[in-house]
Amino acid sequence: MQEAKEIKYRSLEQAEELREAVALQLTAWPQESVTSMPQMAAAILNGGMVMGAYDDGRLVGFNYAFPGYDGKETYLASHMMAIHPDYRDHGIGRRLKLEQRLWALQAGYGTIVWTFDPFEPRNGYLNVVKLGGIVRRYIPSFYGNGALNIPSDRFLVEWLLRSDRVQGALEGNTPEYDGWSGCPCLFVVETRDGAPVAVRVDESVADSLATEPAGVLLPVPCRPGEMKTTDLALFLSWQELLRQWCAALFARGYRVVSLLRGDGPVNYYVLEPEE
């Protein structure tokens, strides 16, 4: 990890700057995932943005977004972020999101959306807890099957830029409520050979949610990367359970509001019904 100097942030607009952003993407993503310079330039011309993080004139991080429309309102769709490997774990990713938020507000947007892998707990904690986003949609195999033929399932984050929840999170009042740890867990989880196994659905919890909507916990493995290499079938079973129950709960008006991290084999997404 390289020691960063004072990082400066600014919007990118010139073709040469965008070419640098393409080169930076290649340090973090495969060629097939890279957003091209012409695509970014076209997005900027039509209501999108590219934000860069610079260390002594060197581009070390960036994010890119374009306008979206859901039939009711326009929003900003944040599609790509890359941090140079030497500059990770410096908080640059979070700061880029904050700069993106300021840009979006000035441009008249009220919402930013993006996707992330629900089995990446660091991303989940940043997006839902540190930034105050919410999740109300699960997208199966969004980019098709990836490495090891694993479906690229994604959560869709909604960042409601002017909401009290987001404002509180950005002021350090993260949405973490002690009472959430007492919510019932939808799956009965056991540990076998050090790995968490969702042995069955707790039917009593499932039945109670159908009659009296309340907060509920959905567990996910703490070390999914390790599980993919040691027991792929087990990981896929976890993915199928999360896919199934998120779809069911989101259809009932639930949303992901937090991620509880612990020392055990699983973390817990907290879902609550819409207020």
In the chain, % of residues over pLDDT 70:
97
The pTM of the full predicted model, rounded to 2 decimals, is 0.93
Predicted pLDDT at 275: 75
Would you say 197 and 231 are in contact if contact means Cβ atoms under 8 Å apart? no
Distance from C-alpha of 217 to C-alpha of 269, rounded to nearest angstrom:
6
Confidence at residue 176, expressed as pLDDT on a 0 to 100 scale: 67
Nearest to 58 by CA among 27, 102, 35: 27
pLDDT at 2 over 70: no
- 7-170, CATH topology level: Aminopeptidase (3.40.630)
Q: Which of 46-50, 145-149, 227-231 has the lowest mean pLDDT?
A: 145-149
Residue 75 near residue 110, CB atoms below 8 Å? yes
CB 266 within 8 A of CB 196: yes
Specify the pLDDT at position 262: 81
Confidence of residue 196 (pLDDT cuts 50, 70, 90): very high
CATH 3.40.630.30 domain position(s) in the chain: 7-170
